[in-house]
Amino acid sequence: MSGVFKIVVTGPFNSGKTTFISTISEIDVVSTERQTRGESGKADRTTVAMDFGKITLPDDNVIHLYGTPGQERFSFMWEILSEGMLGFVLLVDGSSPSTFPEAKRILDKFRSFSEEPFIVGVTRPDIPECAELGEVVSSLGKDGEVRAIKCDASKIFDVKRTLVELLEMVLEKIDEKEVEGAQRVSLDYSEKECVNLGKIV
């Protein structure tokens, strides 16, 4: 039996949300980016409503990926996008410690919306100044409660592995609740299979 599952991708401004979704989506990402300026005052583009991507699994199950706006002035969309989600990915730019407090605030907000599983993806891991996973987790104030993973949002293998980890957490939660008839989804990590998004599982 097929179904549609919703995963939200959130995080501070310029943490890699749109790139993350674009990297794995089988369709052109539906984006609501607009020209804006970040904390440095540099002109950039940011999501003002949402990004949307799609992954179809071989058993006809579908994952819908929703990217949230990262800036505070568009935060009214966070709760709307969190409704009905299976879980969420919090992206944190490991090379920009100044954004860690904002990441914590976003995480706290999403945890107030839902108790669904989440995973932290630490982006830009190839930059020498990128913080260690433990440092990022500590900054979120959730030691022992957070599963974090390094994730280059532009690499299909990293994005896929992050989603795998999240789906495993979702299945663990299903097991804990002893939900009968839940369909198990397992994803194959191989980069060769990543080339064909129709074989993502």
Tens digits of residue pLDDT in 102-143: 999 999 999 999 999 999 999 999 999 999 999 999 999 877
pTM above 0.95, yes or no: no
The token pair at 27 is: 């369709």
| pLDDT for residue 173 | 84
Could you tell me the CA-to-CA distances from 166 to 9, 28, 96, 134 in Å, in that order? 11, 23, 24, 18
The backbone torsions φ and ψ at residue 16, rounded to the nearest 5 degrees and listed phi first, read 110, 15
Among 12, 13, 47, 53, which Cα is nearest to 33's? 47
Among 88, 135, 83, which Cα is nearest to 108's? 88
The token pair at 52 is: 């949307």
Q: Assign 186 to helix, strand or coil.
A: coil
Q: What is the pLDDT of residues 61-106, one digit of tens each?
A: 899 999 998 666 666 788 888 999 999 999 999 999 999 999 999 9
| pLDDT for residue 30 | 76
Q: What is the pLDDT of residues 139-167, one digit of tens each?
A: 998 777 899 999 999 999 999 999 999 99
